[in-house]
């Protein structure tokens, strides 16, 4: 698709882990349309917590789900697939040309803290875009309920989605950054402050299910001792300071330890003595 000057507009692949009916998805589509052509490829149902899973028990069935957004027809597909696979389908099969950007979101709930972020299907989809060599970002909005909140205000999240997407379209990502995670407080506005953060290792913890009240799975909750939360972390930014968090993510899980020193220690400890 070309603009009024005859220049081909950038293609933005938009996905999520909340499914085709998500209000956050269509809020993101509206925010991205001024920047380029938007192609929506999403799972056909809720896939929260899917991470970067590629399950074997999906059909890959593709269902057209076009919608008019801001007066423009947006091509959309709902796929029986995980968020990661939805991105793969979008890039290798459903896109008319290679996307210039992958955007995942706007997610129901902030994806903050190392554990939450790595379980997140929203983050997983963005990282798959990075794995395919495409600049990528995930956008998540803090909510009371991860299944969605009808009273949620997307104004701040859409403003930051558009702002960061514009930057990625023009400048890409630096080396060793495969995706950005943009987490937005519930009360954010387009003029809210923001900061670059790292994933908190201390901000969340597992708690036993409250079986007496019908819970059957362990749940992740914020730690009660806020002094444990790192001051430069995403949890500190979003939960405590109510500012937008932008966290650079890398696909390389190799530890940053001194590899030479570790190798030497293993040789000493594991090689037979002569």
Domains and CATH numbers, the chain: 11-201+229-270 (3.40.1210.10)
1-56 pLDDT, tens digit per residue, is: 655 666 789 999 999 999 999 999 999 999 999 999 999 999 999 999 999 999 99
CA gap 87, 247 in Å, rounded: 21
For 113: left if phi > 0, alpha if psi spans -120 to 50, otherwise beta; the answer is left
44-96 pLDDT, tens digit per residue, is: 999 999 999 999 999 999 999 999 999 999 999 999 999 999 999 999 999 99
* Residue 141: DSSP 8-state: E
Give the rounded distance of the alpha carbon of 117 from its chain centre: 8
- Start-to-end Cα distance in the chain: 71
Query: What is the band of 206 on the pLDDT scale with cuts at 50, 70, 90?
Result: confident
pLDDT at residue 234 in the model: 96
103-135 pLDDT, tens digit per residue, is: 999 999 999 998 888 899 999 999 999 999 999
CA gap 244, 222 in Å, rounded: 18
pLDDT at residue 46 in the model: 93
CA gap 266, 62 in Å, rounded: 50
Average pLDDT, the chain: 92
pLDDT at residue 4 in the model: 60
């Amino acid at each position: 698709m070309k603009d009024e000057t005859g220049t081909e507009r950038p293609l933005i692949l938009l996905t999520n882990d909340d499914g085709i009916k998500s209000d956050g998805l269509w809020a993101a589509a509206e925010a991205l349309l001024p920047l380029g052509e938007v192609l929506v490829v999403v799972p056909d149902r809720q896939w929260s917590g899917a991470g970067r899973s590629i399950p074997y028990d999906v059909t890959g069935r593709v269902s057209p789900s076009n919608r008019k957004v801001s007066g423009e027809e947006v091509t959309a597909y709902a796929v029986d697939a995980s968020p990661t696979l939805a991105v793969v389908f979008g890039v290798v099969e459903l896109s008319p040309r290679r996307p210039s950007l992958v955007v995942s979101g706007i997610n129901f709930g902030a994806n903050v803290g190392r554990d939450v972020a790595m379980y997140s299907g929203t983050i997983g989809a963005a990282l798959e875009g990075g794995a395919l060599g495409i600049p990528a970002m995930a956008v998540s909005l803090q909510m009371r309920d991860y299944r969605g909140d009808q009273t949620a205000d997307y104004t701040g999240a859409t403003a930051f989605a558009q702002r960061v997407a514009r930057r990625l379209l023009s400048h890409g990502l630096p080396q060793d950054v495969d995706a950005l995670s943009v987490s937005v407080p519930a009360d954010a506005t387009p003029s809210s402050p923001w900061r670059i953060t790292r994933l908190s290792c201390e901000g969340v913890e597992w708690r036993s299910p409250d079986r007496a009240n019908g819970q059957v799975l362990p749940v992740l909750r914020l730690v009660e001792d806020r002094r444990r939360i790192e001051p430069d972390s995403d949890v500190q930014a979003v939960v405590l300071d109510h500012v937008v968090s932008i966290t650079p993510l890398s696909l390389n899980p190799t530890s940053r330890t001194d590899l030479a020193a570790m190798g030497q220690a293993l040789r000493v400890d594991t090689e037979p003595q002569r």
